[in-house]
Amino acid sequence: MGDLVALVTGGSRGIGRAISRRLAESGMTVAINYRSDRASAEELVGEIHAGGGTALAHQADMRSSAEISDLVRRIEETHGRVDVLVNNVGEFSLSSVTGTSDRHWHEVLDSNLGSAFYASKAVLPGMRSRGFGRIVNIGLSPVHLVRGAPNLAPYTIAKTGVVILTRSLAVEEAAHGITVNCVSPGLIDNGFLPPEQESWMRKRVPSGRLGRPSEVADAVDFLVSERASYISGANLAVAGAWDWEDRRTDHDGEVTELFEERAS
């Protein structure tokens, strides 16, 4: 998969950082998008270069279609094209429906769902012209079925929308040589969890452990490879069989507590 150019949105931290690093290891030139943390993005670029890879940091607010269009234009001017798009960026927050402001509602949906829609639209003309493209959206493991959870309405609605967008684009773009898939992480160890939180979360995963960002990155790397050239419209859960519906108890706050610790 060498000589391909990949854009990873929100690619400087957390899961996005692992994805950026993994695609660079596969020989791709990686455009690492960040919104405000330039230092983390430049640090990652340095690490990739030190490992013999190629990467460049690009600033843009992925909630803005105008900034995304400008971002893709800059990448195409610098690298010639965008072959692979990983829609990873997405804000997470907790609030009840009645406690969610109009502004917050739009921020969460625009960050998680709008960004994937805007970025996909921006790269698709070039992918179509070349007859090749790979788009991978980052979702959330338990939203493969429509269900509710307390204090998570905007986030889960957005991530459910990501799955629908994935499958819709997969059908629309199949004839153009473009695959569109979704990777849905479960409970992932961000490397900064206190021991008591890690233990609390781990007990709720059937496999008995939390996932690693590198495992999400490996799934993305597979889906953009030639090995997955006939896979499109799929939603691949990287979650150790975790599903919050199977973990509910009589305590209404359990799902909320779980996500509070996931976000910390």
Q: How far apart are CA 260 and CA 138, in angstroms?
A: 19
Query: What pLDDT does 1 receive?
Result: 58
34 is catalytic: no
Averaged over 124-139, what is the pLDDT? 98
Question: Of 3.40.50.720, 3.30.70.990, 3.30.70.141, 3.40.50.10440, which CATH number belongs to 5-263?
Answer: 3.40.50.720
pLDDT digits (tens, 9 = 90+) for 56-67: 999 999 999 999
Choose the catalytic residue: 34, 118, 155, 230: 155
Q: Is the pLDDT of residue 260 over 60?
A: no
| 158 vs 151, higher pLDDT | 158
Q: Is the pLDDT of residue 155 over 50?
A: yes
The neighbouring-strand residues paired with 55 are 30
Query: What pLDDT does 94 receive?
Result: 79
Q: How far apart are CA 257 and CA 197, in angstroms?
A: 10
* Residue 258 identity (one-letter amino acid): L
| 104 vs 169, higher pLDDT | 169
Query: What pLDDT does 144 receive?
Result: 65
pTM, two decimals, is: 0.90
Tell me the domain boundaries of the chain: 5-263
Q: Which two tokens stand for residue 99?
A: 């406690």
Average pLDDT over all residues of the chain: 90
pLDDT digits (tens, 9 = 90+) for 219-239: 999 999 999 999 999 999 999
Beta-strand ranges (E) seen in 166-254 are 178-185, 235-238
Cα 87 to chain centroid distance, Å, stands at 5
Backbone angles phi, psi at 219, to 5 degrees: -65, -40
Query: What pLDDT does 193 receive?
Result: 80
Query: What pLDDT does 253 receive?
Result: 47
